[in-house]
Amino acid sequence: MHRVKVRVVEDALDANNTIARANRDDFDRHDVTVVNLMSAPGAGKTTLLERVLDGFGDVRAGVLEGDVQGSYDADRLASLHVPVTQLNTDPGFGGECHLDANMVRSALPALPLEKIDLLVIENVGNLVCPAEFRVGEDARIMVSSVTEGEDKPLKYPLMFRTCELVLVNKIDLLPHLDFDMDAFLHNLDAVHPDVPRMLVSARTGEGVEAWRDWLTGLPARREVAV
């Protein structure tokens, strides 16, 4: 019984990787760099996006919003005049808890790939399953809020291990929390040594410029890597 289950799961992940590669080929063909933005619910992904996309400069951005249902985040981003596409996961298993490559593939026809340089895919708020499913992205960014506690890298190691950048958000609240930043960074290094990290506040804007530079430089850095 157990062996059958494992085999099925491996097949599912293998199929996902196949479709992720197809997505990646399509993104490459349109010269679009893709970021997969992940976090727990309420860590501040959308507010950070509102901040960072305002004044984004020459790099033309687009957003694919993943949610179980509703379009609250997409509506918030609409005022920024960047193309926003909503992807709801609720036709799946009572609401899928993550985006997978096939869901992103189903959204491709709705994405204006010829008009953007950078696509940010805002994943469903969840620290477990999104880490399992590549969707064709060039880079993964993980947002961890200081209100969530220092132990999160140890409790959700795969998520912290498979990302290229960690944003430590809500640092404006540090004076009001018992959060130990050194302990958090120690835990982060334990699961992903030396992963780039930035301390940011979506509320005050602190650290957002550094993140904007990282994001807008991504297409050029990818060009070099390719």
Report which DSSP code applies to 169. E
Q: Is 189 in the site for its own copies (CB under 8 A)?
A: no
Region from 14-22, 35-43, 56-64, 135-143 binding its own copies, contact rule CB under 8 A: 35-43
Give 71-137 as a DSSP string: -HHHHHHHTTTS-EEEEE-TTSSSS-SS--HHHHHHHGGGS-GGG-SEEEEE--S-SSGGGG---S-
Q: Is 166 in the site for its own copies (CB under 8 A)?
A: no
Region from 28-36, 63-71, 106-114, 211-219 binding its own copies, contact rule CB under 8 A: 63-71
Backbone dihedral angles phi then psi of residue 87, each to the nearest 5 degrees: -125, 115
Which residues, including other chains, have CB under 8 Å from residue 125's CB and lie 6 or more apart? 39, 40, 41, 42, 43, 45
Number of H helices, E strands in the chain: 9, 7
Q: Is 96 in the site for its own copies (CB under 8 A)?
A: yes
Show the tokens assigned to 94. Answer: 């009572």
Report, in Å, the least distance between residue 222 CB and its own copies: 27
Show the tokens assigned to 128. Answer: 């477990």
Q: Is 152 in the site for its own copies (CB under 8 A)?
A: yes
Among 18, 21, 25, 70, which residue sits at the site for its own copies (rule: CB under 8 A)?
Answer: 70
Show the tokens assigned to 5. Answer: 């289950």
Footprint (CB under 8 A) of its own copies, residues 106-135: 124-129, 131-132
Report, in Å, the least distance between residue 24 CB and its own copies: 21
Footprint (CB under 8 A) of its own copies, residues 195-224: 203
Nearest-CA neighbor of 172 among 208, 203, 145, 150?
203
Among 178, 193, 194, 224, which residue sits at the site for its own copies (rule: CB under 8 A)?
Answer: 178
Chain positions contacting its own copies, by CB under 8 A = 5, 9, 13, 40-42, 67-70, 72, 92-97, 124-129, 131-132, 145, 147-149, 151-152, 154-158, 170, 172-173, 176-178, 203
